[in-house]
């Protein structure tokens, strides 16, 4: 089987991740920060280690400003709901995932002003349009770091500068880039950094988080969820201390044990080395696809401006048929359709049917790519 669905979730997980999860259940299964006994303390230690590993991986100076959430969608929702009020202006791009667009559309109905800066057919952001949308007083710019459909990398550094120039905060949705592109928050001036644990960081599903930068005044944010934290238990209001303010209820200790191990695994490999490997495989794939008549590849031609997520269509054939034949006849797993990002498909002209997405990752080999190209050649006939 060839797994080409890394943009949905990474698979297989490193053995160290599976071992860390089993170890947590066996030896550290208490409720962290709640009780004083050894299993509770052991669970708390594993979660703290995961928090420190995540902070170190992204160059975030304060692990206590790493908030764990069940996934990146929760991280994005918590940030948007905590920050935005009726009358605020928020600016986003034309290639966002529904994890950003759906909460923003709901906030728009509640009186938040939403401006979508368009992107070109390869996903490149119209930066002049974004600048025009950024009137002084804008509250937030939110953008994905790379498209989950066509892999286009957006210019996070310039977006941060543009946002800060008008006094807005900048939130980066790193769902597709955490663990995939080298990211250093000590130099990349991102205020709210939302990540998922189960893709490039190679942790399990049910993990993700939000890292708050120094520009974010935590006291100004309203907690979206409230509940038990194990801290300040005498009060019926949510504690102000971090990260408890945004982490109500028992955390996913087993998942975070796996996330910590996943992060340490990719740090040991080196994210820059992972990126180099994926760039080479993406080049091989795109060059091979270009030799198959009727196959159209989306996304930037310049491989440096894209991740290893490649979308295609085959002229005159339905995307579901291509995905089905790849799976059933060639054991190649892809994702077809709209990829929860109708905005991207409207932008690149593939709505309403979508594309066939080939998303490479850590365990993908040159042989996998060569077999996939020949499988597509065979299917196209």
CB-nearer residue toward ligand ALA: 7 or 134: 7
For 297, the token pair is 């590849």
d(CA 303, CA 219): 42
Q: Does 39 bind ligand ALA (CB under 6 A)?
A: no
Site mask for ligand ALA (CB under 6 A), range 337-366, x = bound: --xx--------------------------
Phi, psi angles (nearest 5°) of residue 261: -65, -40
Compute how many residues bind ligand ALA; rule: CB under 6 A.
Answer: 7
Q: What single DSSP character describes residue 302?
A: S
Binding pattern for the stretch 83-102 against ligand ALA, x by CB under 6 A and - elsewhere: --------------x-----
Q: Is 65 in the site for ligand ALA (CB under 6 A)?
A: no
Nearer to ligand ALA among residue 65 and residue 339 (C-beta): 339
Taking each helix axis as running N to C, give the angle between helix 72-83 and helix 98-109, from 0 to 180 degrees, rounded to the nearest 10. 30
- CB of residue 90 to ligand ALA, shortest distance in Å: 21
> Which of residues 20 and 360 has its CB atom nearest to ligand ALA in the complex?
360
In terms of CB distance, is 84 or 338 closer to ligand ALA?
A: 338
- Of the candidates 57, 119, 286, 340, the residue annotated as catalytic is 340
d(CA 287, CA 48): 44
Asked if 63 and 202 touch (Cβ cutoff 8 Å), the reply is no
Of 7 and 47, CB closest to ligand ALA: 7
Rounded to a whole number of angstroms, the minimum distance from the CB of residue 350 to ligand ALA is 14
The answer to whether the beta carbons of residues 275 and 180 sit under 8 Å apart is yes
Q: Where are the beta strands (DSSP E) in the chain?
A: 2-3, 66-69, 89-93, 113-117, 140-144, 169-173, 192-196, 208-212, 295-297, 309-314, 332-333, 335-337, 355-359
**Smaller CB distance to ligand ALA: residue 104 or 130?**
104
* Cβ-based burial of 186 (10 A; exposed 0-12, middle 13-18, buried ≥19): exposed
CB 127, CB 120: distance < 8 Å: no
| C-alpha to C-alpha distance for 52 and 60, rounded to whole angstroms | 9
Distance CA 7, CA 26 (A): 31
To the query of whether residue 340 is one of the catalytic residues in this protein, the response is: yes
CA 27 to chain centre: 31
**C-alpha 167, offset from chain centre:** 25
Q: Name residues contacting ligand ALA, limited to 322-341 (CB under 6 A).
A: 335, 339-340
CB of 7 to ligand ALA, least distance (A): 5
Q: Does residue 380 touch ligand ALA according to CB under 6 A?
A: no
Least gap, CB of 297 to ligand ALA (angstroms) = 17
Say whether residue 221 binds ligand ALA (CB under 6 A).
Answer: no
Among 2, 3, 6, 8, binds ligand ALA (CB under 6 A): 8
Three-point CA angle 211, 215, 216, nearest 5°: 55
Strand partners, 60: none
Q: CB of 42: closest distance to ligand ALA in angstroms?
A: 32
**CA-CA distance, 33 to 12, in Å (whole number)?**
32
Query: How far does Cα 18 stand from its chain's mean position?
Result: 21
Contacts with ligand ALA, 108-147, as mask; x by CB under 6 A: ----------------------------------------
Query: By CB under 6 A, what part of segment 143-202 binds ligand ALA?
Result: 148
Nearer to ligand ALA, 144 or 238 (CB): 144
- End-to-end CA distance of the chain: give it in Å, rounded: 22
Give me the least distance between CB of 175 and ligand ALA, in Å please.
6
Least distance from ligand ALA to the Cβ atom of residue 119, Å:
17
Question: Using the rule CB under 6 A, which residue among 4, 7, 162, 190 binds ligand ALA?
Answer: 7
- The residue whose Cβ lies closest to ligand ALA is 8
Residues assigned a catalytic role: 340
What residue ranges bind ligand ALA (CB under 6 A)?
Answer: 7-8, 97, 148, 335, 339-340
């Amino acid at each position: 089987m060839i797994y080409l669905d890394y943009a949905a979730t990474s698979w297989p997980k490193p053995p160290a991740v599976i071992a860390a999860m089993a170890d947590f259940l066996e030896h550290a299964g208490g409720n962290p920060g709640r009780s004083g006994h050894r299993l509770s303390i052991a669970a708390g230690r594993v979660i703290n280690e995961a928090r420190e590993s995540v902070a170190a991986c992204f160059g975030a100076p304060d692990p206590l400003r790493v908030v764990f959430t069940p996934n990146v969608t929760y991280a994005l929702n918590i940030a948007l709901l905590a920050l935005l009020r009726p009358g605020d202006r928020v600016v986003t791009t034309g290639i966002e995932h529904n994890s950003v667009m759906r909460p923003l559309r709901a906030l728009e109905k509640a009186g938040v002003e939403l401006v979508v800066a368009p992107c070109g057919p390869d996903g490149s952001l119209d930066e002049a349009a974004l600048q025009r949308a950024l009137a002084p007083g804008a509250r937030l710019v939110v953008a994905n770091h790379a498209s989950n459909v066509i892999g286009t990398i957006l210019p996070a550094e310039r977006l941060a500068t543009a946002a800060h120039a008008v006094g807005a905060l900048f939130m980066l949705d790193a769902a597709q880039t955490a663990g995939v592109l080298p990211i250093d928050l000590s130099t990349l001036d991102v205020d709210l950094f939302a990540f998922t644990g189960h893709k490039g960081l190679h942790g399990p599903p049910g993990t993700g988080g939000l890292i708050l930068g120094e520009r974010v005044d935590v006291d100004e944010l309203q907690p979206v969820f409230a509940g038990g934290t194990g801290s300040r238990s005498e009060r019926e209001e949510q504690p102000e201390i971090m990260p408890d303010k945004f982490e109500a209820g028992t955390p996913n200790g087993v998942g975070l044990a796996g996330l910590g191990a996943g992060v340490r695994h990719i740090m040991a490999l080196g994210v820059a080395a992972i990126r180099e490997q994926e760039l080479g495989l993406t080049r091989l794939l795109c060059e091979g696809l270009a030799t198959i008549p009727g196959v159209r590849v989306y996304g930037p031609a310049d491989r440096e401006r894209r991740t290893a997520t490649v979308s295609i269509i085959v002229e005159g054939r339905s995307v579901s048929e291509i995905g089905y034949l790849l799976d059933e006849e060639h054991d190649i797993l892809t994702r077809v359709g709209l990829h929860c990002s109708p905005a991207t498909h409207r932008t690149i002209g593939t709505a309403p049917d979508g594309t066939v997405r080939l998303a490479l990752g850590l365990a993908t080999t040159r042989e996998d790519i060569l077999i996939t190209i020949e499988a597509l050649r065979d299917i196209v006939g």
